[in-house]
Amino acid sequence: MTADKQPLLDVRGLGIFFRTEAGEVQATRDVSFQLRPGERLGIVGESGCGKTVTGLSILGLLPRAQSRVEGQVLFEGRDLLTLSPRQLRAVRGRRISMIFQEPMSALDPVFTIGQQIGETLRAHRGIGKKEARERAVEALAQVGIPLPSRRVDEYPHQLSGGMRQRAMIAIALVCEPQILIADEPTTALDVTIQAQIIDLLFDLSARTGTALLFITHDLGVIAETCTRMLTMYAGEVVEDSPVDAALERPRHPYTSGLLRSIPRLSKRKTVLPSIAGRVPSPADMPTGCRFRARCVHGLAECEARQDLLDVSLDRRARCMRQAELTLPGAIA
Amino acid sequence: MTSIVEAKDLRVHFSTSGGAETVKAVDGVSFAMNRGETFGVIGESGSGKSTLGRAVVCLLKPTAGAIRLDDADPYALSGAAFRKNRRDYQIVFQDPNAALNPRMRIRDSVREPLDILGEGTRAERNARAVAVLDRVGLRAEFAERYPHELSGGQKQRVNIARVLTLRPKLVVCDEVVAALDVSIQADMLNLFADLQREFGLTYLFITHDLGVVSHISDRVAVMYLGKFMEMGGADDIAERPLHPYTEALLSAEPVPLPSHLRSGQRIVLQGEIPSPISPPSGCRFRTRCPFAEDICASSEPEWRELEPGRYVACHFAGQVTKGRKS
Ligand SMILES: Nc1ncnc2c1ncn2[C@@H]1O[C@H](COP(=O)(O)OP(=O)(O)OP(=O)(O)O)[C@@H](O)[C@H]1O
Ligand SMILES: Nc1ncnc2c1ncn2[C@@H]1O[C@H](COP(=O)(O)OP(=O)(O)O)[C@@H](O)[C@H]1O
Ligand code: SF4
Ligand code: SF4
Ligand SMILES: [Mg+2]
Ligand SMILES: [Mg+2]
């Protein structure tokens, strides 16, 4: 399948640190993964596991004064982590774009949608005002906004939540980037609108070959959108696998626990399997397996630091018991 | 036995733009709730779920139609009787922070509703607060903490404890698990089920999450633009929807199953929910319904009991939906 293609994005040993009042804390450790052309990779995990900061770090969007990033983010022969803010701006929006859960935070309230799309185009493509407007109308039509030639002159607050999300996608895609990073783009939307946006992203990625890095806490969204998935726990990648394989037979107890706690997969009115406890905070990370305190399969040896082990050619799991455990997946 | 809640053609309208326009948030809803059941309400944002929930606990007065609680019209009761009746009907909201004062210790927040009622001595009220906190899974040490020292899930437990101290008969749960991670959400749903068994509670469970609603509910109502489209047993609705809107909602839900086990065709509804200021004529769902015909614009479908216990408002109910498996 895609496994033979060269990776488009090669993230190696990403460690993200924040300076806080209590000293420096580490939000992610040794995050490594690859994204291939046209691939749709999901990142899943509970809140606070490091999904958002991982996405932000790729584009140098973490607050510079309070953070430090180690590792490498290789893209088109360069390490994005070594680029100057100016060099990064040339990548952002043109080669790699990002969309967020709350489109209002990314859209500028004082400019029309058309001006914002035009701005992106003119900055990266150097085209004129008139052409930019035409392209903006096209872009809005492409993301399924009705009456695009009217909407193009409207301000963000005049659009509904679903329309704003589409407008943000239009801005993100207008320069036909290689990679789109989407951080919970449908979390605030109704299922009906979510289905529209998922279809839109899916079609655009299939048509233009844009690779998708899809961050979400919703395994249903991953199942319907992505080809591969990374499970993150407490700042680490704990499983990296093709989606169907992970849903059928997860190799990390955390992936299994996340799946089993979904109400839809249990019989009505039965006790839902949950994962006792909470994600540890970066300020007091346990040594050894970070999931140990919540894992029902833990052994004394799990107190040793766990590495991502190869499960097969295209799967890895950070659990020393991955080969011997048979963990329930979407079908128990 | 009589119903714990009975709504007859209930309407809650709001006037906006200085009275120039009327938002018909709830626009003619009839249903009855049985004691001890969980009655789920689903629907898109803006369909009127929260407004309905607030009307049930008398936080909003009906514009028209009637609501009966325990077979009495709450608005016909005297002040004292109204307050006593209100106490039996409580509500918990989505935002775990909404009901908590950031400067009050958890124990004091939980005790507050009892303080207002002035029941028993302060020591007794404290003991009750701590006991209820323990019951929702928060050990005594949490009683001394402040809200910011708790996680979202823990704060939501506090909110439940707060209403439980009043020993209500019915609790409206308005998106109470929406802000929580799945594993924490699973804990909370288990807790709701336990509390129901233990205290004989009745729930009106409002959520936009279909998985959640079908897991926890005995019966489900599907709401769209101020009206119920369909109502029936939770399993029936999930397995064999009779209304095109229900079918579309169910099919839009992303399913966490490997691709070979997913049904494949998804109905993607076009467009968005129209404004409740001027809902479409005839059937309100017609602007997005894949099966709409002329009659749907000219005449409003009647709310009828198509099969025992299964109510639906659609001219072609049961004829156009396919039912679903998986
Ligand atoms: N106090 C109010 N004044 C005017 N309009 C209101 C008021 N409260 C609610 N509405 C409107 O009534 C309609 C129904 O709102 P409601 O909050 O009941 O919807 P909901 O189904 O709970 O939606 P959500 O899923 O977003 O919580 C919406 O159009 C809303 O904007
Ligand atoms: N600016 C910041 N300063 C300090 N810590 C932060 C900052 N941003 C994120 N973090 C911490 O990094 C961790 C990962 O956060 P995040 O990536 O937002 O998680 P997720 O997206 O998986 O919910 C969390 O513990 C969070 O508190
Ligand atoms: S390493 Fe041990 S504690 Fe960690 S997930 Fe595997 S079995 Fe559980
Ligand atoms: S009455 Fe007509 S428009 Fe309304 S749901 Fe039925 S078929 Fe669709
Ligand atoms: Mg996040
Ligand atoms: Mg609501």
Banded pLDDT at B19 (limits 50, 70, 90)? confident
Fold of B3-88+168-325: Rossmann fold (3.40.50)
The overall longest dimension of chain A from CA atoms, in Å, is 68
The helix, strand and coil proportions of chain A, stated in percent and rounded to the nearest 5, come to 35, 25, 40
The ligand that comes nearest to the alpha carbon of residue B278 is 1
What proportion of chain B, given as a percentage, has pLDDT over 70?
98
pLDDT digits (tens, 9 = 90+) for A20-40: 888 999 999 999 999 999 999
pLDDT score, position B3:
93
Residues framing ligand 1 (Cβ under 6 A): B 14, 16, 23, 25, 43, 45-51, 208, 276
What is the predicted pLDDT for the residue at B160?
Answer: 93
CA gap A12, A308 in Å, rounded: 13
pLDDT tens sequence across A145-193? 888 999 999 999 988 888 898 899 999 988 889 999 999 998 888 899 8
B102, B148 in Cβ contact below 8 A? yes
Kindly give, in sequence order, each residue whose CB lies less than 8 Å from that of residue B292, ignoring residues fewer than 6 positions away: B283, B285, B286
Q: Pairing relation of β-strands B64-69 and B89-92?
A: unpaired
The preferred substitution site among A289, A305, A322 for testing ligand 3, maximizing ligand atoms within 8 Å of CB, is: A289
Question: Nearest Cβ partner of B190 from A160, A217, A272?
Answer: A272
Residue A242 has pLDDT above 60, yes or no: yes
CB-defined contacts A:B, below 8 A:
132
Say what the pLDDT of residue A1 is: 44
The pLDDT of residue A4 is above 70:
no
For chain B positions 246-265, those within 8 Å of chain A (CB to CB) are: 248-249, 252-262
Distance CA A292, CA A270 (A): 26
- Kindly tell me if the per-residue pLDDT of A310 is higher than 80: yes
Give the ligand at the shortest distance from the Cα of A56.
Answer: 2
What does the pLDDT read at residue B82?
87
pLDDT confidence bin for B1, thresholds 50/70/90:
low
Alpha helices by DSSP H, A238-311: 243-248, 253-260
Confidence of residue B323 (pLDDT cuts 50, 70, 90): low
List the single residue in B with minimal CA-CA distance to A246: B258
Distance CA A248, CA A237 (A): 19
Which ligand is in closest contact with the Cα of A161?
1
| R_g of chain B, CA atoms, integer Å | 21
Predicted pLDDT at B246: 96
Q: Which long-range contacts does B133-137 make (Cβ < 8 Å, 24+ apart)? A: B133/B106, B133/B107, B133/B157, B133/B158, B133/B161, B135/B161, B135/B164, B135/B195, B136/B160, B136/B161, B136/B164, B136/B191, B136/B195, B137/B187, B137/B191
Kindly list the protein residues that place their beta carbon closer than 5 angstroms to ligand 6, a single-atom ion.
B 50
pLDDT higher than 70, residue A50: yes
**DSSP 3-state assignment of B16?**
strand
Go through chain B and tell me how many residues it has: 326
Q: Which carries the bigger pLDDT value, residue B310 or residue B141?
A: B310
Tell me: pLDDT of A129 over 80.
Answer: yes
The residues, ordered by sequence, that sit 6+ positions from A300 with a Cβ below 8 Å of its Cβ are: none
Percent of chain B past pLDDT 90, that is, above it, reads 75
Assess whether pLDDT exceeds 80 at residue B264.
Answer: no
Cβ-nearest to A191 among B182, B183, B208: B208
Quick one: tokens of B60?
């909003």
Considering CB atoms only, which of B151, B181, B272 is closest to A160?
Answer: B272
Yes or no, beta carbons of A223 and B254 under 8 Å apart? yes
Whether A300 contacts A224, CB under 8 Å: no
Nearest ligand 1 atom to alpha carbon B94: 27
Instruction: In whole angstroms, give the CA distance from residue B90 to residue B27.
Output: 23
Task: Check if the beta carbon of residue B304 is closer than 8 Å to that of residue B48.
Answer: no
B139-168 in b/e form (b: 16+ CB < 10 A) is: eeebbeeebeebbebbbbbbbbbbbbbbeb
Element (H, E) at A73: strand A67-75
Asked if residue B188 lies in contact with residue B158, where contact means CB atoms within 8 angstroms, the answer is: no
User: Which residues touch A170 (CB under 8 Å, ≥6 apart)?
Assistant: A113, A117, A136, A139, A140, A142, A143, A145
Cβ <8 Å between B252 and A192: yes
pLDDT tier at A122, thresholds 50, 70, 90:
confident
Give CA–CA dist B177/B182, Å, rounded.
9
The domain locations on chain B are 3-88+168-325
Shortest-distance atom of ligand 4 to CA B320: 7
B66 φ/ψ sector (left φ>0, alpha ψ -120 to 50, else beta):
beta
Residue B96 pLDDT: 84
The C-alpha torsion from A234 through A235 and A237 to A242, rounded to 10°, is 80
pLDDT band at A10 (very low <50, low <70, confident <90, very high): very high
Give DSSP secondary structure letters for B51-99. Answer: HHHHHHTTSS--SEEEEEETTB-GGGS-HHHHHHHHHTEEEE-S-TTTT
Split at pLDDT 50, 70, 90, the class of A292 is very high
Buried/exposed code over A111-136 (b: 16+ C-beta within 10 A; e: otherwise):
ebbbbbbbbbbeebeeeeeeebbbbb
Per-residue pLDDT of B136-195, as tens digits, reads 988 888 899 999 988 888 899 999 999 999 999 999 999 999 888 898 899 999 999 999
Residue B151 in 3-state DSSP? coil
Give the DSSP letter of residue B144: T
How far is it, in rounded angstroms, from Cα B43 to Cα B31? 16
Can you give the pLDDT at residue B98?
80
B190 vs A46, A265, A271: nearest CB: A271
Joined together, the tokens standing for residue A261 give: 């706690």
Q: Residue A68: its pLDDT value, please? A: 96
CB within 8 Å: A274 and B187: yes
Minimum mean pLDDT among A95-99, A311-315, B94-98, B218-222: which range?
A: B94-98
**Alpha-carbon span B41 to B29, nearest angstrom:** 12
For the CA of A20, the closest atom of ligand 2 is: 4
